[in-house]
Structures are given as structure tokens and as C-alpha cells.
Amino acid sequence: MSDTTMKRFRVSANKAVDLDDWSTNDTLGWDKESAKEELVDVIDQMAFLQHRLMAEADQSLLIVLQGRDASGKDGLVRHVMTGMNPAGVRVVSFKVPAGVEKQHDYLWRCHAAVPARGVVGVWNRSHYEDIVVPRVKRLVPEEVWRARYRHVRDFERMLVDEGTTILKFYLHVSHEVQRQRLQKRIDNPESSWKHDPSDISDRKMWSSFQTAYEDVLRETSRPHAPWYVIPADVKWVRDLAVAKIVLEALVLMDPRLPAPQDDLKGVTVI
Ligand code: ADP
């Protein structure tokens, strides 16, 4: 299996990132109908390897999803991650820290949510909120959020050394498509409950968030824990691109079924 999808979207370590140079609406030469068919096949293969990952119970996979409001993090979980056996998937959504979370360092809740061996962890938002939000909203002094680049690099390095594969996806949505999705969400009674006034106030700080994300991508994309910038204006492109990268990672992880505990030759169940 080639790793072309991985390479195409991967952010190089230490290289300046200008998100305006990254497409939000590229369809990558794919067409919708065949992409949908391919997604079914890719999810099938993911599920096959996830079964082996669970059986092997030695490595884990952590998938980090970041992106603007309405960039499609929830949709991706629904369309792609649910193809795997839920018994071996742990989805965690990180909200504004509250209660006991505020009594600890910011990585405390994240470390507790790291997938166990054999499990695929999907983080809908993550420790990266603790860099981007405090920076943009000026909640802490610069030296505090800036030191976090180093903390998260070290944290992720440790997780990888201990057997976790990490994939980080930035779902890259345009200003206009975000507007359309937020409007649609408000107008539709089935989804208006999701509307959060902070989506509108955060949208007003679009360029500050963009700068903060660009710095995060440059500072924390590393070969062992890379960031992928995924064009997210077109949902079926987003889903297939992420699914292919997850599959490629699972193939590289190469999980193996454990050998039977005993010689089963001639064993009959009575
Ligand atoms: P979502 O928008 O992901 O569907 P919510 O509407 O509950 O879910 O929003 C979660 C909110 O929590 C977002 O505005 C996000 O920026 C915020 N958040 C998450 N983690 C942190 C953090 N560590 N610090 C500040 N804000 C955070």
C-alpha cells in the first residue's frame, strides 16, 4: 500500500504554514459517487485491521480532530469512525475545562483519555484547545501558552515511545462555508439546539484563530505525530481523505492476531 494520501496532506516539521495556501475545497480528482463507494471499502478494511488491533492488545491509535466550528468533526466521527467496532473505539469530546479539570494541569484530562492498548481513541478537540483558545482570547500570558508547544511535543513523544500511533487532523473549512453551515444549523429546527453563541463570537476572531492554528501546525507537526490539513468544505472529500490516512496508518501498524494459547490440532468442543 502506498502512503500517497498521507504524504499529500502532511504538514512538514518546523516549516512555516500559511493556511491560505492549503485548499479547503479541492476534490482531489475524485468524483462523489466513486468516492462514496471507495469509502465503504476503506472503512471495511479499517474494521478488519481494528479487529486485529483489539486482539493484539499491544498498540493503540490516537486520532486527534481539530478545526473551526462546523468544520465537520462530529460528521467525521459519525461517517467514518462508526465503521469500526465500537467496543474498541473511545470517542472523547473536550469541552471548556470545568470542575476538577480546572484543578489540574491542562494535560491531566487528556492523559486520562489516552486509548488503552488495542483501542482506537478519537478526540473531538484536544489539548490543542489549551494553546489556541487561551492565546486568541488572551486568557493567560504568552509565556504560558507558548511553553505548551514543548509540553505537547514531549507528551506525544512519550505516548509514541510507549506504543501509541498518533494522527492529527486539522479540518480546513473556508470562512464562507462555515457561514453557510452555521446559518443552516440555526435555521433548521433539527439542529438549532447545537447553536452556541460563542460560534458567532469566535467567527469574528477568524484571523487570530488562523494565525494560532498555523503556529500550532508548525510547532507540533513531527514525523512521529504529524498533522494533516484536510480540505473540509466538501464532506465526502473530508471523509474519504481522513479514512484513507487512518487506513494507511493501521496498515503500517500491522497488528497481528495472537497465536492460540495451546496447540489446537485435533481439539473438539463437546
Ligand atoms: P463542539 O463545538 O466541539 O461541537 P461544544 O459546542 O460543546 O462542542 O464546544 C466546545 C467548546 O469548548 C469549544 O468552543 C472549544 O473551543 C471549547 N474548549 C474545549 N477545550 C477547551 C480548552 N481547553 N480551553 C478553552 N476552551 C476549550
**Which CATH number belongs to the domain containing residue 215 in this structure?**
3.40.50.300
265 in any annotated domain: no
260 in any annotated domain: no
7 in any annotated domain: yes
**Ligand 1 site: residues with CB under 6 angstroms?**
69, 74, 94-97, 124-125, 129-130, 133, 196, 198
> How many domains in the chain?
1
Ligand 1 mean position, distance from CA 264 (Å): 51
The pick from 65, 76, 95 for probing ligand 1's pocket by mutation, whose C-beta has the most ligand atoms within 8 angstroms, reads: 95
Q: Among the atoms of ligand 1, which is closest to the Cα of residue 137?
A: 25
Q: Among the atoms of ligand 1, which is closest to the Cα of residue 199?
A: 14
Residues of the chain with pLDDT under 70: 1-3
Position 192 scores a pLDDT of: 96
58 in any annotated domain: yes
Which residue's alpha carbon is at the smallest distance from atom 26 of ligand 1? Answer: 96
269 in any annotated domain: no
Ligand 1 mean position, distance from CA 94 (Å): 6
Position 123 scores a pLDDT of: 98
266 in any annotated domain: no
262 in any annotated domain: no
The pick from 66, 93, 94 for probing ligand 1's pocket by mutation, whose C-beta has the most ligand atoms within 8 angstroms, reads: 94
What are the tens digits of pLDDT across the range 78-97?
A: 999 989 999 999 999 999 99
**Which structural domain, as residue segments, surrounds residue 183?**
3-254
261 in any annotated domain: no
Q: Quickly tell me which residue has 461517517 as its cell.
A: 79
Position 261 scores a pLDDT of: 83
Cβ-based burial of 163 (10 A; exposed 0-12, middle 13-18, buried ≥19): exposed
Which residue's alpha carbon is at the smallest distance from atom 25 of ligand 1? Answer: 96
Position 5 scores a pLDDT of: 75
